Structure 1
Amino acid sequence: MKATMLKFIMYLQDSELVASFQRKCGLFAIEIEHQCSDETKLVRDIKNPPDDRLTAKQRGNGNLKEQLIGSETHDSNSNYKYETTGHNVDGAYWPRYQVRNMLFYYLFLLSAGLGQEVFYITFLPCIHWNLDPFLCRRLVNMWTVVMYIGQVMKDMLKMSRPLAPPVVKLETRVDAEYGMPSTHAMAATAISFTLLLSAAHRFQFWFEAGLLVAIVLSALVCLSRLYTGMHSALDVICGVLISGMLMLVTYPSWETFDQLQLTSPLSPIVAVVLPLFLSYSYPELDHYSTTRGDTTIILGVGSGCWVGYWVNQQLGETFEPQGEFPLPLPALTAPALARGSARFLVGVALLLSTRQVVRTLSLWMLCTWHQVSADDTQAHRRKEIEVPYKFATYAAVGLVNTTLLNKVFVLLGLS
């Protein structure tokens, strides 16, 4: 029994399983065979037999070498897409992958984006601005807990990501990170189902439809981690299970934590001291990884939002919907959509401005204090610089989102 279980786990961890999924979705690793003639560069898939080779002439677009120059190229006859590396062999570039199904390509890239900073800095605040600050607070709290635990587990377990080849890797920034568990899968699961469970007590909607949406969105994000080649099936499955277990364990205490977070006089102190401590005590690695910086960003956002929601509660300006819960969902009228779009654009602009200003100032102050150049990107990775500047930057973003922006909307007549 143990041997069978171990064999199954190894199967889920196998890089070839990820590569097989990619090929089924139309993503193929390819390479260039450098021939003597510049006019005859042959392209073949690593997994395909030799008779699948296509010459430049057969592609009907002249010299293949010209096709492959640049980061992305498209085949005019087959609608295939090629991605090239910067590796040069006598003028010939070596493509990394070929996309044969553009629908899956864009679907999974978009789904992968649901676990990136651009999504968090737009979707979570948008819930606060256009629906209910209560829901945003719940989401940020759960997202912070789940992501911190997932990031720490990565650097403690130290399990590698899928190997390339055979896997095609579409992301490079986080390739130095370890793989187990998938924090994309954890975050997608936590955000989807925390929103579903919390909204059920605040708004009237068809719960089964919400459940279906939560399942589909979570599944798309999970599958995108296989498609992009960044995680094994085991990483993704464990990420979902860990996130689900954390939600199950913490769910009974959500209401109690809400009350303490909003009313306790110690709340703002804990909101700053605890995340800062967790940022500085993050596990050390023998090489630089983006996990510490990304974790600090998450903790900074959680800290800033925590303080902001406490301040709003003390001032009696929570900006939450009024009435007897659950309330009907806001009507999607043209004026409502226009106001919502305006709040979104103003909000994102102010958050990005806050991020840029505070980041620049904090980096300049820290680099001056430590006597290093503010342009030295290697210096930015030092703990004494990376942790405080990222924490300050994103704590400011969280604070502005929860306190200042609501007042701006009122002044602009967008409330």
Structure 2
Amino acid sequence: MGSPHHEGSATSATEPLPAGKNPKKPEKEPRLDAGNKHHGHYARRLPLWRHSMRNVLLPVVRWETPYLALMQEKLRTPKLDTYFAVTANLGTHTFYMIFLPILYWCGYTNIGRATVHMLAAGIFFTGFVKDMLCLPRPLSPPLARITMSGSAALEYGFPSSHSSNAVSVAIYALYKFHSAREEYNPNVFMALQALCYWFALSIVFGRLYCGMHGFLDVIIGSIFGGAIAIVQLIYEQSFDKWLFGESPLPPLIITLVILVLVRIHPEPADDCPCFDDTVSFVSVVIGINIGAWHYALTGLAIDDPIPSTNPFRLETVGLPRATLRVLLGVVVIFLWRATMKPTLFTILPPIFRLLEQARLNLPRAFFLNASNYTKIPTLRGDDNVIPSASELPNMLKNLAHPRKRSVSVGPQSAADAYETLAYRNRRRRESINSLDGAVPEEGAAWSPMEKKPSVRNLRSASKKRESPLGVNLLPTQAASRVHSYEQMMGTGNIDNVEMTPPDSESEFTVQTPAEAESEKREIFMQLMKPRVRYDVEVVTKLIIYSGIGYVAVCANPILFEFIGLGTGIRTLDPFERLQK
């Protein structure tokens, strides 16, 4: 949608604001020292086992960079930029949240339920791993980031949620088509299969083309998606049989399990919105299961193909009324969200202050405690799943010129900046130390107590002209781009000055510590700033998105019947159904 520093909705400090700190009295901004801060940042904030796993996988992320850059450089065209920028929206939370309710309202309840469960599982597990390992996206530059989602730049990269979503939906659809193959014309069957493969491949390869993910990200994300689809196909019938009984216990158990999963979601080392997206989507699971259980008891639902199915028939309803159903349903969802959000932002803070005084609150990092604010200002761009109605015109406008508004170059999040600076500093030291036969292991943590190399050794490293990534067979163009980037953003303290090997054997570029510090601060000032987030937002999302699920599955179908937009079909009344 534009350069990263033009996006975002609220102002926050360069460093994430810890819970409990008053934004009116910001702490002094810490020194951005690539030699100490950026390697120690994750060591300090992550438990040892998480930091060790991160150190094992981080070299892969860095190793992939030049190959991804070369691929992007060879393939990029304006048309492909537009294509992959647009098709990436097919894998976003917003697309699914707008599209899925329509399945319910048009009689495809079984597909809608299965898709919500798979997507929620994909968002939860990929988000869980993202926040657990805190692995950055591939470096930019040399890669250009092509995305129409402003929030994506703030998320970690491993694994890919888009890939998980696309693969799970594609595998599920392929299985269903094969199960009912005799019902389709052979040409139609082949076209539907091709559509599934196109959908999955476009999303997965598009993440590589757009510079948003590396090979490892999309491979692991796709494995997640495949496993989730298999579990859904194996257990969907038994799960529905268990849910749609006489007892309200199953939806209650589902709700409690999801609340526990939300509570155990790991704390990230940077201000990452993965947790927000997870809360939103798993809350929908609460809503659709409570709503489905309730709707099955109303006497308006049918049991074919599954209980709680909305009895929609286009020949009975008619196209005009079917269109009105969809439009009205979407309006009701937006009205629910627009009404409940300010209401909860008014009601919840005093309750949270009381809980905080009683030490019963459960604070999360990067969320401001209620005792440190008196009023929540109007938030813009605070929802990555369903945007507010006021944001829809701008989103549609961006779709008209996707390439113009979607390409950006440079670090976009704190994780990007930390890893860019730490990576460059470490590779320089490894290159210099290798001349003395002491090359650290790729996954080992750098220590600020390492021997400081001499200027003579630095000049020798420059003459040797090693690849910045330490790989001898790197593509020349990609390595050159990474090397140019390292010249542009030199870091690392060497005998109190900072020297960056140039492209030739000419004089070195020397930076004083003050100049290096100024450059680092400039990098961080250009990042998309995470907005201040408030503790009540977690419960607010839980209520709003549970309500959205309930409204889509139960309240809207009842409303359609009440105002004459339904089918007029009534099965058993609730008491007859329970007796049966």
Q: TM-score, normalised by structure 1?
A: 0.71
**Cα 1:252–1:190 shift into 2, 3 Å:** same
Which amino acid in structure 2 is aligned with residue 119 of structure 1? F
2:221 to 235, 239, 260: 239
**Cα 1:20–1:330 shift into 2, 3 Å:** farther
| 1:276 corresponding residue in structure 2 | 259
Q: Answer yes or no: is 1:117 the counterpart of 2:73.
A: no
Q: Is the 8 A contact 2:68 2:214 kept in 1?
A: yes
Q: CA deviation at 1:127?
A: 1.2
CA RMSD of aligned residues (A): 3.1
Which amino acid in structure 2 is aligned with residue 21 of structure 1? M
| Larger strand share, 1 or 2 | 1
Q: CA deviation at 1:165?
A: 0.2
Q: What's the CA shift string for 1:212-260, capped at 9, x where partnerless? A: 2111111111122223321112211221122112323453222111111
Of stretches 277-286 and 360-369 in structure 1, the one that deviates more from structure 2 is 360-369
Q: What's the CA shift string for 1:27-58, capped at 9, x where partnerless? A: xxxxxxxxxxxxxxxxxxxxxxxxxxxxxxxx
**Cα 1:18–1:322 shift into 2, 3 Å:** closer
| 2:133 corresponding residue in structure 1 | 157
Which structure would you say has the larger Rg? 2
Q: CA deviation at 1:150?
A: 1.3
| 1:185 corresponding residue in structure 2 | 163
- Take 2:86 and 2:304, find their aligned partners in 1: how far apart are those partners? 31
Q: CA deviation at 1:141?
A: 1.5
1:23 to 50, 69, 73: 73
Question: How many residues are aligned here?
Answer: 328
Q: Is the 8 A contact 1:226 1:233 kept in 2?
A: yes
Q: Is the 8 A contact 2:61 2:214 kept in 1?
A: no
- Take 2:191 and 2:86, find their aligned partners in 1: how far apart are those partners? 22
Q: What's the CA shift string for 1:297-338, capped at 9, x where partnerless? A: 011111111110111122333356589xxxxx977x898544
Within 5 A, what are the aligned runs for 1:121-140?
121-140=97-116
Q: Is the 8 A contact 1:185 1:236 kept in 2?
A: yes
| 2:344 corresponding residue in structure 1 | 362
Which amino acid in structure 1 is aligned with residue 115 of structure 2? L
What secondary structure is seen at the aligned counterpart in 2 of 1:375? coil
Q: Answer yes or no: is 1:308 the counterpart of 2:358.
A: no
Q: CA deviation at 1:180?
A: 1.2
Which amino acid in structure 1 is aligned with residue 64 of structure 2? D
What secondary structure is seen at the aligned counterpart in 2 of 1:169? strand
Q: Answer yes or no: is 1:294 the counterpart of 2:277.
A: yes
| 1:38 corresponding residue in structure 2 | none
- Take 1:283 and 1:248, find their aligned partners in 2: how far apart are those partners? 26
Q: Is the 8 A contact 2:120 2:285 kept in 1?
A: yes
- Take 2:97 and 2:377, find their aligned partners in 1: how far apart are those partners? 25
| 1:385 corresponding residue in structure 2 | 536
- Take 2:166 and 2:175, find their aligned partners in 1: how far apart are those partners? 14
2:560 to 395, 404, 409: 409
**Cα 1:305–1:293 shift into 2, 3 Å:** same
Q: Is the 8 A contact 1:132 1:321 kept in 2?
A: no
What secondary structure is seen at the aligned counterpart in 2 of 1:165? coil
Which amino acid in structure 2 is aligned with residue 254 of structure 1? E
Q: Is the 8 A contact 2:65 2:138 kept in 1?
A: yes
| 1:29 corresponding residue in structure 2 | none
Higher relative contact order (CA 8 A, sep 6+): 2
What secondary structure is seen at the aligned counterpart in 1 of 2:323? helix
- Take 2:305 and 2:267, find their aligned partners in 1: how far apart are those partners? 47
Within 5 A, what are the aligned runs for 1:313-352?
313-318=296-301, 336-352=318-334
Within 5 A, what are the aligned runs for 1:171-210?
171=147, 172-198=150-176, 204-205=183-184, 206-210=188-192
| 1:374 corresponding residue in structure 2 | 376
1:285 to 257, 263, 268: 268
- Take 1:133 and 1:152, find their aligned partners in 2: how far apart are those partners? 28
What secondary structure is seen at the aligned counterpart in 1 of 2:151? coil
**Cα 1:207–1:363 shift into 2, 3 Å:** farther
Which consecutive residues of structure 2, in runs of 5 or more, have no partner in the other structure? Answer: 1-55, 307-311, 352-369, 380-529, 567-580
| 1:399 corresponding residue in structure 2 | 550
What secondary structure is seen at the aligned counterpart in 2 of 1:174? helix
Q: Is the 8 A contact 2:138 2:213 kept in 1?
A: yes
Q: CA deviation at 1:159?
A: 2.1
What secondary structure is seen at the aligned counterpart in 2 of 1:14? helix
Q: Is the 8 A contact 1:13 1:233 kept in 2?
A: no
What secondary structure is seen at the aligned counterpart in 2 of 1:175? helix
- Take 1:414 and 1:104, find their aligned partners in 2: how far apart are those partners? 42
Q: What's the CA shift string for 1:272-315, capped at 9, x where partnerless? A: 21212211221012322101111000111111111101111223
Which amino acid in structure 2 is aligned with residue 122 of structure 1? I
Which amino acid in structure 1 is aligned with residue 86 of structure 2? L
